[in-house]
Structure formats: structure tokens, C-alpha cells
Amino acid sequence: MPDDRLSYSTDIRNEDPTSDHQGAFKRGWRDADKGEEYIEDMHEELTWHNLGWRLGVLFGETSDELKQELFEWCKAQQNKR
């Protein structure tokens, strides 16, 4: 059964991510590591911040290198759309 925390209606991420977006992604992941739950409204739109949180929920604490690799992978996937 899909996890409702991982679904979204609209992807509003910037198509050319900047270091600010990368920072938001990593902050979201840290929020997940701390066990923070996002309110339901935050699940409607996909942002770099809550994408980091969503992956943090899935993978938990990981190395900075893996977080960076996943950010780069997400960025590459977004560029393919």
C-alpha cells in the first residue's frame, strides 16, 4: 500500500535547481531524521524541501555523500521530463 506521505498532486520544484534548492532538500531530510511530521497540506505540492523530507522518511539517516547523490539523481530525473 502506498505511503500517503509520499504522494503529491503538483510538482512545483524549480527546473534549474540552485544551491538554495539543494540546501532546502538537505534541510527537509534533516527534518525527517529528527522525526518531524509534515502537515497534510505540505503533501499536496512537491518542493525541494519536502522531497528531501520524503526521501529522509524512506532512507533515514545516511551519509552526506548519499544525500548529495540522491539530490543529483532527482535533479537529473526532473530534467528528463
> Does residue 48 lie within any of the structural domains?
yes
Query: The whole model's pTM is what?
Result: 0.80
Report the candidate in 34, 38, 64 with the shortest Cα–Cα distance to residue 51: 38
Residue 52 lies in a domain: yes
In a domain, 3, yes or no: no
Strand partners, 45: 10
What is the extent of the structural domain holding 64?
22-79
28-50 exposure pattern, b = at least 16 Cβ within 10 A, e = fewer:
bbebbeeeeebeeebbeebbbbb
- pLDDT tens digits for the chain (81 residues)? 346 666 777 777 866 777 788 999 999 999 999 998 877 666 678 889 999 999 999 999 999 999 999 999 998 887 776
DSSP conformational letter for 42: G
Count: domains in the chain: 1
Cβ 51 vs Cβ 36: under 8 Å:
no
Residue 15 covered by a domain: no
